[in-house]
Amino acid sequence: MSRILFFLFIGTLLSAYEPIAPIPLHEQTNMPKAKVGQLLFFDTSLSKDGTISCFSCHNIYEGGADERKLSLGVGGKEGDIHSPSVFNARYNFKQFWNGRAANLHEQAEGPLNNPFEHAMDKESIEKVLNASPSYRKMFQTLYGTNRVRYEDAIDAIVAFEETLTTPNAKFDRYLRGEISLSEAEKHGYMLFKQYGCITCHNGINVGGNSFQKMGTFTPYKSLQTYPDRKAITGKKEHANVFKVPTLRNIALSAPYFHDASAPTLRDAVKLMAHYNLGVKIPDEDIDAIVLFLNTLTGEKPEITEPR
């Protein structure tokens, strides 16, 4: 059986049940903490040279990712991997491309302590926040402490990140039986399943719930080394293995892949088919799949309205 026939067969089996779940319309959040976390998310004073904030690499007014291939940290230092979207990160089973963070608390600490990003530490963050009467007042109200503690600052940032869900995408409303997709969009979704994209991109986040090798059928070689899963586990079989990214709001978060090597969504579909499915998808099928992927763009949370 050829590879393309194999994936068509698997896709037909997967069509028998719904492998994608809609984002919940209401999630439990702590809005007072989230409001303070939002201030911290935008605060450049939480970087060594006062130039970098969380927002610098995660544009929540667009797709929640970075439009640059590699983000810039303190002193203009270049990062070593493309910054993924922070939207719907609460639904990821691990954080960062190589899954080195088990949850959002560990993820929030990572950039703050990274010498190439914020270049801060617990003591310097507490010093900055305690020098602000307004922050001290807010944290006293929220946490009942006379001084701002590092762990409470992380907790507030996480509370904000947990509000960054994007429900009510057209596809979610279709799943809930509220609207219909166009015939072209439904055809794109059928192809998405039949070609086997759904094997890795499924669940509530249409990804973000497994690790996969980049280059399953055709070896994938980047121009430079990126921190893959092997950097965490030390296992040679984890070379070029990364967390499968979410496809939520994917139309808004170009460029694509851990190395940002795919400038457009069409490029991303074509290249993934080649490297990870071992097939060449006709142009008309790529167009149809991209049409479906556009239905995964959800509503921005109210908290992200321009301040």
- Spell out the SS3 assignment of 118-162: CCCCHHHHHHHHHCCHHHHHHHHHHHCCCCCCHHHHHHHHHHHHC
Delimit the CATH 1.10.760.10 region(s) of the chain: 3-25+166-302, 31-161
> Do residues 7 and 277 make contact, with C-beta atoms less than 8 angstroms apart?
yes
pLDDT of residue 53: 98
Q: What is the architecture, at CATH level 2, of domain 31-161? A: Orthogonal Bundle (1.10)
Amino acid at 214: M
CATH code of the domain occupying 3-25+166-302: 1.10.760.10
pLDDT of residue 17: 77
Longest dimension (CA), the chain: 69
What are the pLDDT digits (tens) for 242-271? 999 999 999 999 999 999 999 999 999 999
Three-state SS for 237? helix
Catalytic residue among 106, 109, 117, 161: 117
Would you call 106 a catalytic residue per the annotation?
Answer: no
> Do residues 63 and 87 make contact, with C-beta atoms less than 8 angstroms apart?
yes
Tens of pLDDT, residue by residue, the chain (307 residues): 454 445 445 544 444 579 999 999 999 899 999 999 999 999 999 999 999 999 999 999 999 999 999 999 999 999 999 999 999 999 999 999 999 999 999 999 999 999 999 999 999 999 999 999 999 999 999 999 999 999 999 999 999 999 999 999 999 999 999 999 999 999 999 999 999 999 999 999 999 999 999 999 999 988 788 999 999 999 999 999 999 999 999 999 999 999 999 999 999 999 999 999 999 999 999 999 999 999 999 999 988 765 5
How far apart, in whole angstroms, are the C-alpha atoms of residue 88 and residue 235? Answer: 29
> Do residues 32 and 218 make contact, with C-beta atoms less than 8 angstroms apart?
no
How far apart, in whole angstroms, are the C-alpha atoms of residue 285 and residue 298? Answer: 23
Neighbours of 58 (CB within 10 A): 23
> Do residues 197 and 265 make contact, with C-beta atoms less than 8 angstroms apart?
no
Question: What does the block give as tokens for 47?
Answer: 């970087």
**Which residue shows structure tokens 């499915």?**
277
Strand 211-213, strand 241-243: pairing = antiparallel
> Do residues 300 and 88 make contact, with C-beta atoms less than 8 angstroms apart?
no
Question: What does the block give as tokens for 56?
Answer: 């610098």
pLDDT of residue 285: 98
